[in-house]
Structure 1
Amino acid sequence: MAAEQGVLLHKGCYRARLAAGPADVAAAQALRALCFRTGGTDCDAYDAACAHVLVEEVRTGALVCCFRLLVLENGADLPRSYSAQFYDLQGLQAFQGRMAELGRFCVHPDQQDADILRVAWGAVTVFVDARGVQMLFGCSSFAGNSTAEYLDAFALLKHRHLAPLCWRPQVKAPDVFRFAARLRRKPDAKKALLHMPPLLRTYLLMGGWVSDHAVVDACMNTLHVFTGLEIRAIPAARKRLLRAVAG
């Protein structure tokens, strides 16, 4: 790991580091506003409680990706999370291990290098390992409020990736798409993966699971599903890959 203060990971052309102060957080908020098309600056009350991670191009210092992490001691702390605004998380409140909410994950729209996503997940791995996090969770977003182009993706989530019943989030938001109850179609896996957000695809590759409904978030112009990942459930081969990047 790089010796530079606050650096989580330095790999190839990129480094991932923790925000060092208000200017870094403001830069992350500006990138979020650009990616989420909110206009102005994207900020909320949760920012002050989170650790903010910036992925930068080493040569230029350009910010290419950012996200934030909120550490919770166990499931009893879930009401403090961003996700709790939209989902009834009563089942998950019985989880005894440390948790971290991954939020506002975005990559600059002009950047196409797949290494950015790999470095970002390597940084998540370093963070999770250092703090003894046992479950990672958050809201995984599809662009727009229309479900039409995502029906195969939602059908695939229903057939392969629903949360265990004991932890499954219940409906809380006023406007939701209950895809597990409504969809009867057999998913076209190729179409499903084509329309699956990259962040969600990565969660699923690691053994993640989702809520049985999507929240229609008019403010952010997204559809999102609650996504959870128990760290001990990540396949051994996938853990080796993540730690190879993180190392």
Structure 2
Amino acid sequence: MSIELLDRVSLVDGGAQSAAVAGRTTEGLLGRIGNLETRIARNDREIDAAQAVRYRVFVEEMGAQIPSDSARRKRDIDAWDMVCDHLLVLDRSLDCDPEDQIVGTYRLLRHDVARTNGGFYSATEFDVDALMARHPEKRFMELGRSCVLPEYRSKRTVELLWQGCWAYALTHRVDAMFGCGSFPGIRPEEHALALSFLYHNAVARDEWAVRALPELYREMDLMPVEAINPRKALAAMPPLIKGYLRLGAMIGEGAVVDHAFNTTDALIVLPISSISDRYRNYYGADAGRFAS
């Protein structure tokens, strides 16, 4: 599970690159910047193409281990694909079918859908059920399986993916988003500085507290607070996690080692009410903010 593989670029970066409009201008369109568009997958062919993009990033690039049947098909597939919505970024300048224009993807799972289809993927690593039990009136959404092809890892691609998530959340009246932010490798101690900074400065408390499952729990508190240099800790952190911290996100307590995906995972928790005014003003209350 990951929202990690955008971590070579920042989540958002100053200044709108396209004009705002009142509502969507194209059916299903969630945003557009230049030749790139973001929207939800419309058919099985597009979902299959998104799974192929995930395979290229997770397996060929990052060395993830997947079932042999999926490997033969060169697709990253799991059971949640059938119930999730698949957010896409497409390069419309490519002269080919839409499914061959997909250059990035994010997987979105709403609370009501998860409730009737076996729960959230993150529940295999973190006790998200306890978190949601404390907020029975809130609508949650899980973000996962994010990736972008190497040649498209730019600020505008990541900004479009976030705009798509934001517009989708507004449309479905989501109250909080969550998902795993990942560090490369399966040795948490190699990320002691960054993990310790998160533990001392960003761990969710009280009503938003959430922990890794006991059998998977790995300590994040690997350094005393007086030994942490905040500037160096932030520099050592995957940019996607830094981006979510800027938005107002919190971190679950305890890391989880994902051997299949060769990552060390931390849970990101982002209540919509916690998103800083800077980013609320930037993206606005209109789901079509970037659709022009």
Check whether TM > 0.5. Answer: yes
Q: CA deviation at 1:146?
A: 2.0
Identify unmatched segments of 5+ residues in structure 1.
Answer: none
Q: Secondary structure of the residue that 1:97 maps to in structure 2?
A: coil
Compute the displacement of 1:68 (Å).
0.9
1:25-104 to 2 correspondences below 5 Å: 25-37=47-59, 38=64, 39=71, 40-60=74-94, 62-73=101-112, 80-89=119-128, 90-95=130-135, 96-104=137-145
Letter in 2 for 1:184: P
1:208, distance to aligned residue in structure 2 (A)? 0.4
For the Cα contact (< 8 Å) 1:57–1:63, is it kept in 2?
yes
Query: Bigger radius of gyration, 1 or 2?
Result: 2
TM-score by length of 1: 0.90
Q: 1:201 to 1:77 in 2, by over 3 A?
A: farther
The residue aligned with 1:155 is 196
After the TM superposition, which residues 185-224 of structure 1 pair with which residues of structure 2 at under 5 Å, given as runs?
185=225, 186-224=227-265
| More relative contact order, 1 or 2 (CA 8 Å, 6+ apart) | 2
1:232 is matched by which residue type in structure 2?
Answer: S
* Structure 1 residue aligned with 2:6: none
- Give per-residue Cα distances to partners, 1:131-163, cap 9 Å, x unaligned: 100100111111211224422211220121101
Alpha carbons of structure 1 residues 188 and 77: separation in structure 2 relative to 1, 3 Å: farther
Q: Secondary structure at the match of 2:174?
A: coil
2:273 is aligned with 1:232: yes
Check whether the contact 1:8–1:123 (CA below 8 A) recurs between aligned residues: yes
What is the Cα deviation at residue 175 of structure 1?
3.5
Conserved? CA contact 1:73–1:97, under 8 Å = no
User: What RMSD over aligned residues (CA atoms) do the two structures have, in Å?
Assistant: 2.4
TM-score (norm 2): 0.77
* TM-superposed deviation, 1:3: 3.0
Partner in structure 1 of residue 3 of structure 2 = none
Identity across the alignment (%): 28
**How big is the shift at 1:75?**
10
My pick for the range that moved more, 8-17 or 46-55, is 8-17
Are the equivalent residues in 1 in contact too, given 2:193–2:223 (CA < 8 A)? no
Aligned to 2:211: 170
Aligned counterparts, 1:128-139, within 5 A: 128-139=169-180
| 2:223 alignment partner in structure 1 | 183
Higher strand share: 1
Task: Summarize the Cα distance change of 1:77–1:208 in structure 2 as closer, same or farther, 3 Å threshold.
Answer: farther
Change (3 A) 1:196 1:13: farther
- Asked if the contact 2:212/2:255 (under 8 Å) is kept, the reply is no
